[in-house]
Amino acid sequence: MANPLPSSVLIVGSGGREHALAKSLALSPAKPRLLCAPGNAGIAADATCFPVAADNIPGLVELAQREKVDFVVVGPEVPLSLGLVDALMQAGIPAYGPKADGARLEASKVFTKQILLKYNIPTAPAGIFTAIEPALAYLQKRGAPIVIKADGLAAGKGVIVAQTLAEAEAAVRDMLAGNKFGSAGSQILIEDCMFGDETSILVVVSGRDYVILPVSQDHKRIGDGDTGPNTGGMGTYSPAEVVTPELLARIDREIVKPSVDAIAAEGMDFRGTLFIGIMLTADGPSVLEYNTRFGDPETQVVLPRITSDFLALLWAAARGELRGMEIEVRPDAALCVVVAAKGYPDNYPKGDVITFPAMLPPQTTIIHAGTTKNAAGQIVMNGGRVLGVTALAPTLREAADRAYTACDQIQCVAKYYRRDIGARQLTRP
C-alpha cells in the first residue's frame, strides 16, 4: 500500500465491540499504539484508556490532537450520528466510520425504509406515523403479528414484534404517547412481520467499493429458545451455514450492491461499516434494518475469523483505497456467549465482583463489555451485557463446548447467560 499504516489508533467506545476491535487491531504487523476512550476494564489491558465519553465530540477531537493520533476507529452509533467523523475530518484526522449524513441510516429507521423502497431493495411493506389514530387504523388493516419500530436510536431495544393487535396497539401508544423511547419514538414505523432465519451481513464500505466480512447469526431474545424481550444480542456464531455460497451471492447481488449504490446515489460519501440485518424469507432475502457500525456481539465472532491485517482494511476504506482489497478468513467456527447481569434488558444490578478462571479453554477469549474497576481494583459489573465469551474451534460444537466451559467458570453473583447459543445451527437437520 502506498501510504504507511497508522502508528497510533484511537478506538471510540466502551463495549464488547470496541474490545474486539482493539484485539484485532493489535494483531496488525504495524503494531500501532492503541488508545481507547472511554474504554472499560478489559480494554485497559490492550489499550491506554482515557476518561472521555463517546458522545463528547469536542473532547474526543481534543484527545486525538493532544495524543497525536493518526487514525480514529469509531465503535458506537451515537458519536457517529452526532458527527464525530465530520469533526475529526475538519481537524485533519482520518477516521473510520460514516459522517453524520451516513449515520442517519441507523439513526432513523424511517430514513432507511424510504431509501429501501425508493431503490426497490427487498424489504417488508410499512407505514410511517407520528399520530396514534392513523397508526391504529393501519394496524387494523394489516393485522397481527406485526412489527412496531421507534424511528430513532434506542440502544437496540426500540423494536416490538407484536403477536396480537392488543400488544401492537399498546406498543404504538407507548411510543407515540407514553414516551417510552423519548424523542426516538416520536415517529414510528409499522412494518409487516417477516418470517424465516435472520442473518447479519457486515460490509466494509468506501464509496461504491466494499468488502463483505464473514457471515454470522445473532440471538436477540433474552431467553433460551428465542423467548422473552429483544436485547442488544445474547450471543452469536460464525459462519452461518444457512447462508450458503449461492445465497450469499444472491444477497450481494440483490441487497449489498444495490444498498451501497443507493447510498452513493443519495450523495453520501460513506466510509465505514454497513451492517445489514436480513430476514431469509420463503420469497428470498429481505432487509430488516441498516446499522452504520460493527454489530455487537457479531464483531466478537467475525473479527477472530479474519487472518489478514484488519487495520490495513479499515485504513484503506477510510482513505478511499478499498478497491481490489480482499480478506483472508480461517475455516474455524467461532461462537460467542454473552454473560449478562440478571434482570437485563430491564433493571439489573451493578457493582458485583467478577472472578475470572485461572485458565481458559484453547482459543477462548473473554471480551469485556459492561465492566469497570471498583475502588479496590476489582473488576465489577457495570452494564447489562457484561462479557462476551468467544471461542474458536474446528467445529461449531467444539466452539460451543469451549465457550460454555469458560462461562461456567466465571464467578459472579448476578451472572446470566443463555444455554442454547448456536442451537439453530447445531440442531438443524
Task: List phi, psi (to 5°) of 166.
Answer: -60, -45
CA–CA separation, 114 and 347 (whole Å): 35
CA–CA separation, 18 and 97 (whole Å): 13
Whether the ω angle into residue 304 lies within 30 degrees of 0, i.e. cis, is: no
Give pLDDT < 50 ranges for the chain: 1, 184
- CA 387 vs. chain centroid, Å, equals 15
All structural domains of the chain with their residue ranges: 9-97, 131-186, 195-319, 333-426
- What is 333-426's CATH superfamily? Phosphoribosylglycinamide synthetase, C-terminal domain (3.90.600.10)
> Other CB atoms closer than 10 Å to residue 358's CB: what's the count?
6
What is the CATH code of the structural domain delimited by 9-97? Answer: 3.40.50.20
CA–CA separation, 16 and 233 (whole Å): 11
Give CA angle at 371 (366, 373), nearest 5°.
115
Q: What is the pLDDT of residue 111?
A: 93
Q: What is the pLDDT of residue 180?
A: 58
What grid cell was written down for 235? 450471543
HEC profile of 4-15: CCCCEEEEEECC
The answer to whether residues 303 and 199 touch, using CB atoms and an 8 Å cutoff, is no
> Other CB atoms closer than 10 Å to residue 144's CB: what's the count?
16
> Other CB atoms closer than 10 Å to residue 321's CB: what's the count?
16
Task: List phi, psi (to 5°) of 96.
Answer: -100, 120
Q: What is the pLDDT of residue 1?
A: 43
CATH architecture of 131-186: 2-Layer Sandwich (3.30)
The answer to whether residues 323 and 317 touch, using CB atoms and an 8 Å cutoff, is no
CA–CA separation, 151 and 111 (whole Å): 8
CA–CA separation, 97 and 292 (whole Å): 8
Q: Which amino acid is it at 130?
A: T
Helix (H, G, I), strand (E, B) or coil at 332: coil
Query: Helix 16-26 crosses helix 310-319 at what angle (to 10 degrees)?
Result: 100
Q: Does domain 195-319 have CATH number 3.30.470.20?
A: yes
Q: Which amino acid is it at 58?
A: P
Strands 33-38 and 8-13, by their bridges, are parallel
Residue 252, exposed/middle/buried by CB under 10 A (0-12, 13-18, 19+)? middle
Q: What is the pLDDT of residue 186?
A: 77
Q: What is the pLDDT of residue 183?
A: 56
- For residue 149, the cross-strand partners are 159, 189
CA–CA separation, 117 and 107 (whole Å): 18
Nearest to 377 by CA among 55, 10, 34, 44: 44
Contacts of 275 (CB under 8 A, 6+ apart): 200, 201, 202, 203, 290, 291, 292, 293, 294, 295, 298
Give CA angle at 175 (173, 177), nearest 5°.
55
State which H helix or E strand residue 377 sits in: none
- CA 201 vs. chain centroid, Å, equals 10
CA–CA separation, 77 and 54 (whole Å): 10
- For residue 334, the cross-strand partners are 238, 392
The answer to whether residues 416 and 341 touch, using CB atoms and an 8 Å cutoff, is yes
Q: What is the pLDDT of residue 154?
A: 61
